[in-house]
Amino acid sequence: MTVLAIAVVFVGLLCLLNLLFTLGVIRRLRQHTEQLAKLPRVDEPMEPIKLPTGAEIGEFSATATDGTEVTDGTLRNGGLVAFLSATCPACAEQLPVFVERLKSSRLKRDETYVFLIGDEAKLETMKAQLTPLARVVLQPHGGPVTKAFQVAAFPSFVMLDKGARVAASTVFPDELPIAAAATA
């Protein structure tokens, strides 16, 4: 009879231990659910920059790879500004679309500015493709230009009006409101 009592007590203790583990798992799942709820939803539109349409960009100064000084004053006549990062898979994915969009647009090289963010060695391919089409500026992460535009995502594409005011912004280059060049 004592063996039976010991077995019953042992099974009871195992059930109690199992119950404690189950409660721990449930608690952890609730924490994960709360953390997941705080993440941005995929179906929500991603804001490339924090500046709203109509806002004026902040002050900055940088030097393009061709030695040209680029400042917020340089952008007073408007144009296209792009931000691409060396560590961004979406940037590499969108680069061919962006290059084709630039080639088919009426924008001149002096109206297009591309800020490549990150390690220069990792940006060589992007730099080579974009230099004939735009003024290219290399910047570190968190540099003055990304702060002036309040960049929130990569890639970011921003159309500026006169006065360096945000006309439109997107993470997809094919959504840019760029006039296509006339075909002969």
Predicted pLDDT of residue 157: 93
Q: How many residues does the chain have?
A: 184
Over the stretch 147-177, which tens digit does the pLDDT of each residue have?
Answer: 999 998 899 999 999 888 999 998 888 888 7
Domain 61-175: CATH superfamily, name plus number:
Glutaredoxin (3.40.30.10)
pLDDT at residue 175, as a whole number = 86
Peptide bond into 177 cis (omega under 30): no
- For CA atoms 53, 56, 62, 63, the dihedral sign is positive
Which residues in the chain land under pLDDT 50? 182-184
Res 60: pLDDT: 92
Nearest C-alpha neighbor of 154 from the set 59, 78, 49, 45: 49
Task: Give the single-character DSSP code of 25.
Answer: H
Q: H or E segment at 137?
A: strand 135-139
pLDDT at 43: 54
